[in-house]
Amino acid sequence: MDRRFETNRTWWNEVTPIHARSDFYDLAGFRAGKLSLLPIEQEELGDVAGRSLLHLQCHFGLDTLSWARLGAQVTGVDFSDQAIALARSLAGELAIPARFLCANVYDLPDVLHESFDIVFTSYGVLCWLPDLARWAGLVAHFLKPGGTFYIAELHPFAGVFDDEEGVTDLRVAYPYFHTPEPLTFDSQGTYADRTAQVTHTTTHEWAHSLGDVVNALIAAGLHIQFLHEFPYCDYPILPFMERGSDGWWRLPGDNVLPLLFSIKATK
């Protein structure tokens, strides 16, 4: 397992500067004061002013720093040292108070010894984790009694479809249910820049059903406040999706399928 995590970490280290240059992350807009958060998480999580917030798998910290701009006392965590270095640099450059820790999420109790009002994570995070029960236990571990967990994430149902360039319709290509062995990919480009050329092309990902996510949180002792599903997402996870005037990406025609979900839970 360490080998697989290290393979993924190597890939994330290489793509961090690619992502920082991409239109997808719009770092120039963020530097000018724009928030990177989407309306879903802002509306559903609500006011964070004065509350302590732990952001798991934060990449280079734009969402973490956005929550700080909204008044939260933030700690961001990611296993990519290049991403954390960039997050710390941005926090210093923009004078945004924030703490960033470089750690694998499963090892976080070894380096972080406090609890938080909010634990937050979002968009493309769960596929990098082999063990959701252990992950949910860590979420509960870092929440204060009465604290809130929130996740907005790509819907696992949408993840079963072939996303290769040139595909023009819905074709099942990947499993919906979890298997111990990961899906291994070897490809160029990233979700933020599909034309990017990278040296390290291999990644390992794990499928998790929506039931896996909900049941892991319940088993960890959290109380589900809501589960919402949405027929749109924030980027074209399939090559034939269409972008609406509201900025969300949808399937064409009458293909109304779940593309995002969100969960809010309390301890």
**Tens of pLDDT along 5-29?**
999 999 999 999 999 999 999 999 9
Helix, strand, or coil (residue 260): strand
- Which residue carries 């004065």 as its tokens? 50
**Tens of pLDDT along 166-191?**
899 999 999 999 998 999 999 898 89
Q: At residue 98, does pLDDT exceed 80?
A: yes
Write the DSSP symbol of residue 172. B
Cβ atoms within 10 Å of 146's Cβ, excluding its own: 8
Which run of H or E residues covers position 27? helix 27-31
**Tens of pLDDT along 124-167?**
999 999 999 999 999 999 999 999 999 999 999 999 999 988 89
**Tens of pLDDT along 50-84?**
999 999 999 999 999 999 999 999 999 999 999 99
CA distance 89 to 77: 15
Is residue 53 within 8 A of residue 83, CB to CB? The reply is no
**Tens of pLDDT along 177-229?**
999 899 999 989 889 888 889 999 999 999 999 999 999 999 999 999 999 99
Tokens of 181: 């062995």
Average pLDDT over residues 238-244: 93
Would you state the pLDDT for residue 2?
84
Mean pLDDT of all residues in the chain? 95
**243, β-bridge pairs:** 249
Is residue 178 within 8 A of residue 209, CB to CB? The reply is yes
C-alpha R_g of the chain: 18
Q: At residue 1, does pLDDT exceed 70?
A: no
The domains located in the chain, with CATH, are: 2-266 (3.40.50.150)
The H-assigned helical ranges of the chain are 2-21, 27-31, 39-45, 62-69, 81-93, 132-142, 210-219
